[in-house]
């Protein structure tokens, strides 16, 4: 949360998220433990490992044969590294009991994690999706290890636009440690202080980083602003009216027949003020182009390819290109398609000749 600060940051938040900005409170939660450490209900044991490798189809013998484990340099069976989370899971019925207690108001709002989630919800970021899970292993888990895990809120990003919607990325780091099973009090009898003490005495075995995106649901994401309005004059109104009717009109001198674009009051060749229009076929070739990356205006999608198109009637027009930015090439054959940007604005967008649909630019 450190790249943008001050008023500029606040402006950007407002632009992206139309709800209260809790950045300062969220930033204060970074580095905090999400709650007390959790103690695994069972020590690392051979039956659970056998169930796991059977379900996963993992045939590595170091997980099931003492001899294979010894040959691989371990003095006991080891557990598959990816079982990490499985050791900590409390089981379906216990999980349901905890959820019921939460629903009854027991634990809700108590820890930094609950506070973070409620702040994010209040910002309107109510949808959630898991995006990454990275695991780093310090040493293999061996029979008799008893695992403990502590979650820390590692980072909360500024709001970012994503394909799913505008949201914040939240990374939670889980620090796994192991203690000998013999050091752990009888099942269910360890107090919070004892669990904390076990965690502090534990040997680091793994770190997991879990990232989620909390984002604005699609129907609450601010719509893209409409395109800037063209400056309509008595000289060019016909052109925009033609575009609304999906006709590409070109001004023609009524005296000498010369075509001209953009529209002007008088003929550059003979000076006549009399003119009419012809409807162009829309076929042409790319004379020149730019692909705009910056500055970005919210109404447009970037990168934005804009072409100077030489029409087969013999004049040139500037228009958006419905061509992938990397595929734009001078001389390419193009065809006009009309895109209705909103009720009041339709414009030609040139796509590769023969393309069935307008591509970008909509």
Name the one range near Zn ion by CB under 5 A: 60-68, 150-158, 251-259, 315-323.
251-259
User: At its nearest, how many Å lie between Zn ion and the CB of residue 324?
Assistant: 39
User: At its nearest, how many Å lie between Zn ion and the CB of residue 232?
Assistant: 24
Q: Which of 60, 272, 288, 327 binds Zn ion (CB under 5 A)?
A: 272
User: At its nearest, how many Å lie between Zn ion and the CB of residue 329?
Assistant: 34
Is residue 317 a contact point for Zn ion (CB under 5 A)? no
Residues 199, 118: Cα–Cα separation, whole Å: 28
Nearer to Zn ion (CB atom), residue 32 or residue 258 = 258
How many chain residues interact with Zn ion (CB under 5 A)?
8
Is residue 273 a contact point for Zn ion (CB under 5 A)? no
User: At its nearest, how many Å lie between Zn ion and the CB of residue 313?
Assistant: 15
Residues 146, 150: Cα–Cα separation, whole Å: 14
Is residue 278 a contact point for Zn ion (CB under 5 A)? no
Is residue 270 a contact point for Zn ion (CB under 5 A)? yes
How far are the Cα atoms of 86, 134, 173, 182, 350 from residue 144, in angstroms, in the given order? 15, 25, 25, 8, 68
Q: Count the Cβ atoms, other than its own, within 10 Å of residue 229.
A: 9
Strand order across the beta sheet in which 203-215 lies: 38-39, 145-156, 167-180, 203-215, 127-137
User: At its nearest, how many Å lie between Zn ion and the CB of residue 233?
Assistant: 20
How far are the Cα atoms of 114, 277, 308 from residue 312, in angstroms, in the given order? 64, 15, 13
Using CB under 5 A as the binding rule, the residues of this chain from 182 to 241 that contact Zn ion are none
Instruction: Evaluate the CA torsion angle 41, 43, 49, 51 in order and state its sign.
Output: negative
Name the one range near Zn ion by CB under 5 A: 119-127, 176-184, 228-236, 272-280.
272-280
Composition of the chain by helix, strand, coil, percent to 5: 25, 30, 45
User: At its nearest, how many Å lie between Zn ion and the CB of residue 267?
Assistant: 3
Nearer to Zn ion (CB atom), residue 208 or residue 315 = 315
Nearer to Zn ion (CB atom), residue 196 or residue 258 = 258
Whether 182 contacts 210, CB under 8 Å: no
Name the one range near Zn ion by CB under 5 A: 33-41, 80-88, 252-260, 297-305.
252-260
User: At its nearest, how many Å lie between Zn ion and the CB of residue 262?
Assistant: 16
User: At its nearest, how many Å lie between Zn ion and the CB of residue 274?
Assistant: 8
**DSSP H stretches of helix in the chain:** 6-16, 23-29, 46-56, 66-71, 84-88, 92-103, 112-122, 192-201, 237-244
The label of the residue with tokens 């103690």 reads: 39
Is residue 256 a contact point for Zn ion (CB under 5 A)? yes
Query: What does residue 137 show for φ and ψ, rounded to 5 degrees?
Result: -110, 130
Per-residue tokens: 141 = 């888990």
Q: Please give the sequence-ordered ranges of beta strands (E in DSSP) within 127-272, or none if there are none.
A: 127-137, 145-156, 167-180, 203-215, 249-253, 259-260
Per-residue tokens: 250 = 């070109």
Nearer to Zn ion (CB atom), residue 136 or residue 269 = 269
Own/partner pairs, 222-225, CB within 8 angstroms, 24+ separation: 222/16, 222/18, 224/298, 224/299, 225/298, 225/299
User: At its nearest, how many Å lie between Zn ion and the CB of residue 249?
Assistant: 17
Name the one range near Zn ion by CB under 5 A: 58-66, 166-174, 214-222, 246-254.
246-254
Is residue 250 a contact point for Zn ion (CB under 5 A)? no
Is residue 79 a contact point for Zn ion (CB under 5 A)? no
Q: Which of 26, 177, 184, 267 binds Zn ion (CB under 5 A)?
A: 267
Task: Note the residues at the interface with Zn ion (CB under 5 A).
Answer: 253, 255-256, 258, 267, 269-270, 272
């Amino acid at each position: 949360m450190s790249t943008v600060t001050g008023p500029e940051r606040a402006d950007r938040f407002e632009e992206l998220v139309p709800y209260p900005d809790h950045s300062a409170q969220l930033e204060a939660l970074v580095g905090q433990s999400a709650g007390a450490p959790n103690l695994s209900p069972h020590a690392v044991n051979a039956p659970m490992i056998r169930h796991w490798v059977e379900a996963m189809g993992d045939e590595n013998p170091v997980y099931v044969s003492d001899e294979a484990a010894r040959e691989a340099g371990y003095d006991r069976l080891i557990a598959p590294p990816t079982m990490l989370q499985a050791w900590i899971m409390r089981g379906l019925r216990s999980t349901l009991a905890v959820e019921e207690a939460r629903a009854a108001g027991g634990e809700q709002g108590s820890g930094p994690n609950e506070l973070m989630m409620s702040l994010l919800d209040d910002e309107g970021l109510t949808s959630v999706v898991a995006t990454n899970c990275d695991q780093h292993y310090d040493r293999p888990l061996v029979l008799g290890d008893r695992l403990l895990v502590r979650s820390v809120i590692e980072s909360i990003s500024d709001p970012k636009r994503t394909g799913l919607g505008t949201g914040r990325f939240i990374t939670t780091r889980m620090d796994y440690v192991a203690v000998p099973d013999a050091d752990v009090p009888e099942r269910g009898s360890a107090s919070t202080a004892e669990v904390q003490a076990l965690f502090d005495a534990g040997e680091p075995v793994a770190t997991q980083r879990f990232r989620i995106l909390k984002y604005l649901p699609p129907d609450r994401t601010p719509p893209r602003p409409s395109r800037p309005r063209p400056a309509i004059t008595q000289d060019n109104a016909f052109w925009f009216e033609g575009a609304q009717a999906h006709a590409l009109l070109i001004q023609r001198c009524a005296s000498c027949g010369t075509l001209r674009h953009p529209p002007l009051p008088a003929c550059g060749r003979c000076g006549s003020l009399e003119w009419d229009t012809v409807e162009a076929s829309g076929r042409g070739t790319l004379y020149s182009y730019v692909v705009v990356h910056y500055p970005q205006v919210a109404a447009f999608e970037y990168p934005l390819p804009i072409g100077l198109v030489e029409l087969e009637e013999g004049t040139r027009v500037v228009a958006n290109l419905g061509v992938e930015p990397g595929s734009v090439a001078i001389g390419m054959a193009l065809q006009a398609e009309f895109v209705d940007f909103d009720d009041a604005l339709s414009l030609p967008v040139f796509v590769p000749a023969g393309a069935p649909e307008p591509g970008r630019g909509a």
